[in-house]
Structure 1
Amino acid sequence: MSTPPFDPTQRPRIWAVSISRLRDLFFDIAGEYVERADLRIVARGFEDAVHEIDAVGAGRPDVVIAGGSNGAYLKTRVSVPVVLIGPTGFDVMHALTRARRDGAKVALVTHGDTPDEVRRFIAAYGIDVTLASYQSAQDAESVVLDLRDRGIDAVVGPGLIADLAASAGMSAVFLYSRASIRAAFDTALEVAQATRRETVRRQRLDNLLQHLRDGVVALDAQGRVEAMNRRLADVLAIDAAQAVGRALLDLAPDLAGSLPDSDGDAFCTVRGASYVVHRGPLASSNSAPGTVLTFQESRAVEKLDRTLRARQRVQQFSARYQLADIVGVSDSMERVRALVQRYARSDATVLILGESGTGKEMVAQSMHQLSVRRDFAFVAINCGAFPEALLESELFGYEEGAFTGARKGGKAGLIEVAHRGTLFLDEIAEMPLSLQSRLLRVLQEREVVRLGSTEPTRVDIRVVAATHRALTESIEAGSFRADLYYRLNILSIALPPLRERPSDLLPLAVELLLQAASREPRLTARLPDAGAARRVLAHLGEPLKHYTWPGNVRELQNVIERIAVELAEMNANADADADADTDTDADSNSNGATKPVLTREVLRTIAPEIFAQPHARAKKTALTLRERSRHVEADEIRAALTACDGDRDAVCQALGISKTTLWRKLNAAP
């Protein structure tokens, strides 16, 4: 039975139990303790006193005071502490002195065996006294009658013995004094306070256990239950209160063989559900150490893992690149940087056009970093990297139960995650038609509806889209919605391919080589700045410039990475040679380190595609008359856009063409 709750500030409840003249002493000193205890004197004994204590329920005493056989009986039959009244040496001496005045033959009767200290006291003072003891109320009567038959004149003993002796016609002296009763009351107060402190501690621990999300059980050294919370009791389908004191494996035999044998974790199945069971030590200062077992449902562990991953994922939605990371000295890249700065001040949707590898996402991130949304999420998703069904749930999210396998509680889509930030839709031309209409509504209404829901959620986002395809051709082919195109193509940035800006090749190569060197400890000291990187690449300028770079900056980065690996190996070999032979001639720099030398032959080995089929490549790069015409038209349109500060309406009016024709000619340029 659990301990009933109580007010810790309430006075401790103390019951003084007696059916003899001891009760009179209780009344005599009760007034001394009314301020410190809620004192009750109970005129019952033995089994009647047990029933009285058990019957009151929540009003049960904190401590019981009793003497003699009555106290010994209660001590083994009630669950509350029982303080036994013990006579002092002064009590014995004083009582025997009084008894000697009443009769020549005196007997001292005690409950249980006569204490050794009493025997030593009597022997030391040469007192002529008969010693006797009793174990129960029935035994007490027999002892008293036997003493009478032996000619005893006066009997000294507890209340029951004194009453029986008086009834038998002998002189009776009560053994206890007020001092011994006060000592018992003081002890009872200390026990009550300690019991209450322990009760408060246990109730707090029990309250903690009951509020834990996991099932918890504490076991003693023999595997018996000391405490169990309701969560685990419900899992095991048992009564937690009745489980105390019983072996856990008797209560739940299905757990046999699946619990951890030592401190650590294990998996088990309870009533069809999987749990992670952790075993830990339960330390105890006054008994053998026990064990604590915690049962955590595996689905809760998985949910927590998903939650942590989701939080980490949200924290990863940030822009890494800034405008300074866009490298290039050509006029076309200067125009790109100018547009990025200009468009960053606007919230209008931007369409970024450019071949693969030209840095479309870098431009989008730079624009986000310069905008007022820079403190919020930059969420990027490649529309061509997901199947249609998965792309829909990733973008728009879903409600719980929207489809088989939907996460409990639902999931916010990336559009919602980008709230107050920027949503970057890469490869927008790859988006399925069925999702284009839903995206169009997001752009028009600035609200999103999750899968399985009918309630729209307002979002504040800026959309930046990118593609390497000519969207006008996709519109004509029926694979892209014209209305979505016009919603996306409010502001536009066209990134030139690397082959059209040869002046940017060397600055880009130098920057990429420095980045690669920072990741390679063997190159950090060899390439401390751009000047050192430029000297390393000096022998490779011609083949790099004559290559058309169909993969643009991404392909250049790959080639530079190969150069860095080769350079690191050359440096390692040079250092080894220098250590082996200090007299070896070497081309050394100012600090004595060997300068790495990369030749065309080395480049041919690590990047053969740069030298492959030069004639075919030259033929491929030669423009036809129609392609040159489109290129000239595109340059004229870009110049007009720059002159009109990007005002498409003004450009169309000046050139006498429609908006569709404007962007079709731009996208059609070789």
Structure 2
Amino acid sequence: MNRLPATGPRPRVWAIGISRLRDLFRDIAAEYDDRADLRLVSRGYEQAVAEIAAAGPTRPDVVVAAGSNGAYLKARVDVPVILVAPTGFDVMQALARARRDADSVALVTHGDTPVEMRRFVSAYGLDIVFASYQTAQDAEACVLDLRDRGVRAIVGPGLVTDLAARFGLASVFVYSRPSVRAAFDNALEIVQATWRETQRRQRLDSVIQHLRDGVVALDAAGRVEAINQRLAAVLGVDPSSAAGRPLAELAPDIAVSMPAADGESLETVRGVSYVVHRGPLVDNGETTGAVLTFQESRAVERLDRTLRSRQRAQQFVARYRLDDLIGACPEIVRVRQLARRYAKSDATVLIRGESGTGKEMVAQGIHQESARRDFPFVAINCGAFPETLLESELFGYEEGAFTGARRGGKAGLIEAAHRGTLFLDEIGEMPLPLQSRLLRVLQEREVVRLGATEPTRVDVRVVAATHRALTDAIAAGEFRADLYYRLNILNLAIPPLRERGADILPLAAELLVQAARREPRVAARVRTVDDAARVLDPVGEPLRSHDWPGNVRELQNVIERMAVELADADARQMTPDVLLSIAPELFESPRVSAQRALTLRERRRHADADEIRAALDACDGDRERVCELLGISKTTLWRRLSAADDGAPRSVRRPRDAQRG
């Protein structure tokens, strides 16, 4: 047997017996002093029941009794009752002693005589009379009847043997010390098991009380084993009084609507929609009950929105670096140099360039080179949203700001970019009403959500990009001049692909390597940039001579078509005829320019002049500050501005109002 630790609480055991059983209890009680708080009770039947009921907090954990007294207690008290049961050896010894005292012997038991005893007596050919009783009154009548039938010795429990002695018969007590010890040991094991079960239930109850969802555990009969406070409050019941009661009695509506099998369902309980999950309770591999969890559908929706927002936040990262901007022509080298220089500053950057030239790649590269690299890079296309939606996306909103506003409100992308970089692509497409709100963000570094009265401080670095000539948009009244000057502090122009002839084939080779990684059938042939260059060599001239109005994006599309063609015919080489079949637009006549094409030197002069004019605008015409910012002398500043204005044709010169400073 597993003994309880001596240092822990000791089980309270009451040994209830009268007559000879009481004396036997007293004889062995000392053996259990270190293992139990043992109390001997010399009362029986109604008196014993009353004493247990009156014990209050000192009531026993378990009761040990025997015979009719034990059966009586077992039916009337709510604590475990362990019956002292005579062993076969006890019966054999008692019968042998009785046979020495008399020829006619009776074996009297409480209740029906066990079949084992009858078989035992029959096996040894003993002439024994069997009798039984149910109550104390039955016992007296039974003994008198046996005496009248000529029985001279009776073997039985204490009540029967006392009656036999009173009526002048020989008697032998059937219980022995080993059988009493066995009853005590069983009682202690029952207490241990009960305590373990109580601890398990307390742990289970502690766990479910801390859950945010409603939880109820049921036994196999549908009775409540445990219920947490959250669900009890919904049902309007006391958790302590719910244990042991059928769920169908506590909440008939739940019992009717809950899932009949393990799984989930959407149910309405007391007017509230819940996601109800049913799962099995398993003990030793057998299903002994079920556990039901009730989660408000609104909580599920809120969790889903939270997860979506977290996933969205994880997407606010920059994937490209400036080294990913492929090209060795002087213009691209200049772009990388300026971008690295601008990354060291927190000033706003305006990136100009046609669609598809890689403006966002440069913006991400600036972020990656800056001190804000460990914080969000949030990009939004200002031309991709309707005005109202763009406003809520950028600035966020408070709960109830408009019909359909999310409960609890929502932070805008400006707030999401806190401590990081906000990239405003196609800034020239931003509606005028929002331009004034954005201007305030740039000036005050604070944002006011829709429906809010208090501003929220933000620390963001803004990088904007456009393919439009914003000065023309200002002249047309489509763009605010004050916002333009706030954005155009640092200026960066990305040349179109048609002006980067030497970069077209290296860029195409890199794009083909990237496409091959996505297409295993091409990867075997194109593993490196050198492999890609050999594949593209036969079609180099058509690629170089094309005007590329879609810039790098268009080149990428053509390369993807090549990869598909190479995957379908591994032995087929990329020739001009093959290229003509998949990209006929490359062989169309180039568009005739409406104006004289600028030379490479002229384009560089104008790029320098644009940068100087942007700096002059930002510094309010203070040339000394501009020279200090750009690291040039006043003479160089004047010469570059004059060279750009004098060397350019009239059609490409800036308006006079853009040449201030």
**Equivalences for 1:107-118 in 2 at 5 Å?**
107-118=106-117
Match of 1:196 in 2: 195
Worse-superposed segment, 527-536 or 36-45: 527-536
Match of 1:353 in 2: 352
1:637 counterpart (605, 609, 618): 609
Worse-superposed segment, 443-452 or 97-106: 97-106
Q: Deviations over 1:647-669 (max 9, x none)?
A: 399779944999xx999669989
CA distance in structure 2 between the aligned counterparts of 1:563 and 1:412, rounded to whole angstroms: 44
2:630 counterpart (637, 642, 647): 647
Match of 1:146 in 2: 145
2:575 counterpart (597, 601, 613): 597
Q: Deviations over 1:266-318 (max 9, x none)?
A: 43333343344444444445977655544443333333333322222222222
Match of 1:620 in 2: 594
Secondary structure, in 3 states, of the residue corresponding to 1:23? helix
Match of 1:491 in 2: 490
CA distance in structure 1 between the aligned counterparts of 2:105 and 2:118, rounded to whole angstroms: 15
CA distance in structure 2 between the aligned counterparts of 1:356 and 1:666, rounded to whole angstroms: 27
**Equivalences for 1:501-580 in 2 at 5 Å?**
501-538=500-537, 540-569=539-568, 571-572=569-570, 575=571
- The alpha carbon displacement at 1:359 in A equals 1.0
Match of 1:211 in 2: 210
CA distance in structure 2 between the aligned counterparts of 1:290 and 1:495, rounded to whole angstroms: 70
Match of 1:589 in 2: none
Match of 1:176 in 2: 175
- The alpha carbon displacement at 1:361 in A equals 0.6
The letter of the residue matching 1:595 is: Q
Worse-superposed segment, 642-651 or 468-477: 642-651
The letter of the residue matching 2:12 is: R
Q: Deviations over 1:586-627 (max 9, x none)?
A: xxxxxxxx533123xx5455444445564xx21435469xx9
Point out where structure 1 has 5 or more consecutive residues left out of the alignment: 1-6, 576-593
- The alpha carbon displacement at 1:379 in A equals 1.6
Match of 2:85 in 1: 86
- The alpha carbon displacement at 1:19 in A equals 4.7
CA distance in structure 1 between the aligned counterparts of 2:13 and 2:432, rounded to whole angstroms: 83
The letter of the residue matching 1:508 is: L
CA distance in structure 1 between the aligned counterparts of 2:352 and 2:299, rounded to whole angstroms: 45
- The alpha carbon displacement at 1:110 in A equals 1.9
Secondary structure, in 3 states, of the residue corresponding to 1:380? strand
CA distance 1:56–1:607, shift in 2 (3 Å): farther
Q: Is the 8 A contact 1:449 1:455 kept in 2?
A: yes
Q: Is the 8 A contact 1:637 1:666 kept in 2?
A: no
Secondary structure, in 3 states, of the residue corresponding to 1:618? coil
CA distance in structure 2 between the aligned counterparts of 1:354 and 1:197, rounded to whole angstroms: 75
Match of 2:337 in 1: 338
| CA RMSD in angstroms, aligned pairs only | 4.3
Match of 1:323 in 2: 322
Match of 2:395 in 1: 396
CA distance 1:438–1:44, shift in 2 (3 Å): farther
- The alpha carbon displacement at 1:530 in A equals 3.7
CA distance 1:151–1:632, shift in 2 (3 Å): closer
CA distance in structure 2 between the aligned counterparts of 1:619 and 1:123, rounded to whole angstroms: 125
CA distance in structure 1 between the aligned counterparts of 2:361 and 2:287, rounded to whole angstroms: 65
Q: Deviations over 1:452-479 (max 9, x none)?
A: 5555544443221222223334444444
Q: Deviations over 1:15-67 (max 9, x none)?
A: 22235453343344333322211223344433554455456566543321111
Secondary structure, in 3 states, of the residue corresponding to 2:592? helix
The letter of the residue matching 1:637 is: A
**Equivalences for 1:112-261 in 2 at 5 Å?**
112-119=111-118, 130-150=129-149, 155-166=154-165, 168=167, 173-218=172-217, 228-235=227-234, 242=242, 244=244, 246=246, 248=248, 251-253=251-253, 256=256, 259=259, 261=261
CA distance 1:329–1:104, shift in 2 (3 Å): closer
CA distance 1:518–1:654, shift in 2 (3 Å): same
Q: Is the 8 A contact 2:539 2:575 kept in 1?
A: no
Match of 1:426 in 2: 425
Match of 1:587 in 2: none
- The alpha carbon displacement at 1:324 in A equals 1.8
CA distance 1:490–1:147, shift in 2 (3 Å): same
CA distance in structure 1 between the aligned counterparts of 2:640 and 2:405, rounded to whole angstroms: 50
Q: Is the 8 A contact 2:105 2:128 kept in 1?
A: yes
CA distance 1:666–1:531, shift in 2 (3 Å): farther
| Aligned sequence identity (%) | 65
CA distance 1:105–1:506, shift in 2 (3 Å): closer
Secondary structure, in 3 states, of the residue corresponding to 2:350? strand
TM-score of the two chains, using structure 2 as the length reference: 0.81
Q: Is the 8 A contact 1:102 1:171 kept in 2?
A: yes
- The alpha carbon displacement at 1:138 in A equals 2.6
Q: Deviations over 1:551-606 (max 9, x none)?
A: 2222232233334434444x35xx4xxxxxxxxxxxxxxxxxx533123xx54554
CA distance 1:330–1:633, shift in 2 (3 Å): closer
- The alpha carbon displacement at 1:360 in A equals 0.8
Match of 1:379 in 2: 378
Q: Is the 8 A contact 1:106 1:154 kept in 2?
A: yes
Q: Is the 8 A contact 2:281 2:287 kept in 1?
A: no
CA distance in structure 1 between the aligned counterparts of 2:611 and 2:266, rounded to whole angstroms: 69
CA distance in structure 2 between the aligned counterparts of 1:59 and 1:406, rounded to whole angstroms: 61
Q: Is the 8 A contact 1:278 1:293 kept in 2?
A: yes
CA distance 1:226–1:187, shift in 2 (3 Å): same
Q: Is the 8 A contact 1:255 1:268 kept in 2?
A: no
Point out where structure 2 has 5 or more consecutive residues left out of the alignment: 1-5, 616-625, 646-652
Q: Is the 8 A contact 1:284 1:290 kept in 2?
A: no
Match of 2:304 in 1: 305
CA distance in structure 1 between the aligned counterparts of 2:102 and 2:509, rounded to whole angstroms: 122
Worse-superposed segment, 485-494 or 528-537: 528-537
- Count how many residue pairs are aligned between Structure 1 and Structure 2: 633
Secondary structure, in 3 states, of the residue corresponding to 1:549? coil
CA distance 1:25–1:319, shift in 2 (3 Å): same
Q: Is the 8 A contact 1:260 1:277 kept in 2?
A: no
Secondary structure, in 3 states, of the residue corresponding to 1:205? helix
Match of 1:591 in 2: none
CA distance 1:620–1:134, shift in 2 (3 Å): same
CA distance in structure 2 between the aligned counterparts of 1:407 and 1:8, rounded to whole angstroms: 59
- The alpha carbon displacement at 1:445 in A equals 4.2
Q: Is the 8 A contact 1:498 1:505 kept in 2?
A: yes
Q: Deviations over 1:518-543 (max 9, x none)?
A: 33333333334444544544454555
Q: Deviations over 1:306-355 (max 9, x none)?
A: 33222222222221111221122222211111101111222222221222
Q: Deviations over 1:213-247 (max 9, x none)?
A: 44445556666666555545555556665474637
TM-score of the two chains, using structure 1 as the length reference: 0.80
Q: Is the 8 A contact 2:280 2:287 kept in 1?
A: no
Q: Is the 8 A contact 1:640 1:651 kept in 2?
A: no
Match of 2:622 in 1: none
CA distance in structure 1 between the aligned counterparts of 2:595 and 2:530, rounded to whole angstroms: 32
Secondary structure, in 3 states, of the residue corresponding to 1:393? helix
